[in-house]
Copies of this chain bind each other. A is one copy, B any other.
Amino acid sequence: MTKAETYLGHWHAHRDVLTDLVKSVGEEHLSFQPWAGAMSFADLVWHIVSTGYFFADSAALGHLGMRPEKADLSTMSALESSISEWTQKTHDRISSMTDDQFANLVDMTQLFGAKLPATALLQTNLDHEIHHKGQLFVYARLCGADPLPFFVKRG
């Protein structure tokens, strides 16, 4: 199994929960903010999805990659489409990487003040995604969603 395949298996176990989690709340809750100034439900989903692509693109390029322009998040179907589109694009960027590329240094000096191995950047991406997805579970409960999916999805 290549490093990309191993990573993608782990990543999809988390990413593939996101659509189920979004579907667990009603469209009227997409703008829900648990406290004043918090990211809304839809914004937090987009933060996960857009950061995931940005980190994957950076890892594949070896330097700061492309941040997707903010998508339309105003309806359930728009949000689901955005998740689907950027999940595929992120998958494709990671899938394109050779085992050697996982050991390459990625110049993230502008963002983190350092170069770091692609494998470390991709691990940070996974941790970041799991962290915020955990928060979305609390958001969903606060919106009254019950039951919720399990926190990982096994293929």
A interface vs B, CB < 8 Å? 10, 14, 34-35, 38, 123-124, 127-128, 130-135, 137-139, 141-142, 151-152
Quick one: given A14-B127, A127-B14, are A38 and B134 in contact (CB under 8 Å)?
no
CB of A8, distance to nearest CB on chain B (Å):
15
Residues of B within 8 A of A34 (CB): 138, 141-142
Residues of B within 8 A of A138 (CB): 34, 135, 138-139
Q: By the criterion CB–CB under 8 Å, are A38 and B141 in contact?
A: yes
Residues of B within 8 A of A130 (CB): 127, 130-131, 134
**A134's contact among B124, B131, B152, by CB below 8 Å, is which?**
B131
**Oligomeric state, in copies:** 2
When C-beta atoms are compared, the residue in chain B nearest to A131 turns out to be B134
Residues of B within 8 A of A14 (CB): 127
Residues of B within 8 A of A151 (CB): 127-128, 131
When C-beta atoms are compared, the residue in chain B nearest to A141 turns out to be B35
Q: By the criterion CB–CB under 8 Å, are A10 and B131 in contact?
A: no
Quick one: given A130-B127, A133-B131, A135-B134, are A142 and B10 in contact (CB under 8 Å)?
no
CB of A123, distance to nearest CB on chain B (Å):
7
Give the 3 A-B CB pairs with smallest separation, nearest first. A134-B134, A131-B134, A138-B138
Whole-angstrom distance between the alpha carbons of A137 and B141 in the complex?
A: 15
Whole-angstrom distance between the alpha carbons of A34 and B35 in the complex?
A: 12
When C-beta atoms are compared, the residue in chain B nearest to A134 turns out to be B134
Whole-angstrom distance between the alpha carbons of A7 and B35 in the complex?
A: 35
